[in-house]
Structure 1
Amino acid sequence: MTLDAVPLGFFSVWREIASMIVPMIRTGIMISDRVVPDISVGKVWSSYWKENDLESAHGDRMQYDHEYPLYYPQSKSNPQPAYAYPDSCLGLFRAWLRQTYITTKFPNYLLGQTKRDTVPVVIANKALEAFVPKSVEDRSKKDTQVREA
């Protein structure tokens, strides 16, 4: 995440998807280029940006050079052109990521990965479970189990 040299006053999809990566790590998923949906999120957000004419309200997005970590296959052609979006729409992006991408697009992304045999079904299911809200009852059961152990 720290290789991402986003211009001041802008944010990147790459850095913002950390809010997806941390819950997956907590479920025990080993994060790799096959599980991280950065390109998927970027494409869907870019379409949303254009379809909703967010440029009118927030100003121009801008391209910058994104560097993938060396252990990613995409790093072979670094730097990659990527968009940075004005900080003024960061809250909107985060809400969109939680309410739209994670709930409706991420399952399709993972399904595609399982069909290509790049992500095992067990891992895809674990990734989805990382975003299922826990009820108060579920949390109480877990707390009770921890205390009993």
Structure 2
Amino acid sequence: MEIRRAGEIREVVAAEHLFDGPARVGAAERFLHESGHHLLIAYVAERPVGMITGVETTHPDKGTEMFLYELSVDPAYRRRGVGGSLVRALAELARDRGCYGMWVGTERDNTATLATYRGAGATDEEDFVALTWSFRNHD
């Protein structure tokens, strides 16, 4: 398995089966061109089998941290270490870029994902509540 940072739309399109829906070219271009946005793709024999996205966020009194936005592994490649390898690769990228930490949110009953994150070195620090706003036009 090889993990590479995506830099071109063709890489995103080739991996779109790992996302929640088809790649939207405009959104993908914007994501790839933001210096603090990261898309890492895991390949087996040049086939995209997993992906992780991270977004750097900076706060005036804290510095910069990495938000692990999304992790996905092709069902045929789950439970083979792909997810953990992607999480560790994003954490390494975050350290290399000077981030003071990395965080992620997930559902309490998502045991497979929790095991992946914990296996890659994450710890539970506090109870977390997610509140969301939904806007119709999200391009």
Structure with a larger share of its residues in helix: 1
Larger Cα-atom Rg: 1
Superposition TM-score, scaled by structure 1 size:
0.29
Structure showing greater relative contact order (alpha-carbon pairs closer than 8 Å, 6 or more residues apart):
1
Superposition TM-score, scaled by structure 2 size:
0.30
Structure with a larger share of its residues in strand: 2
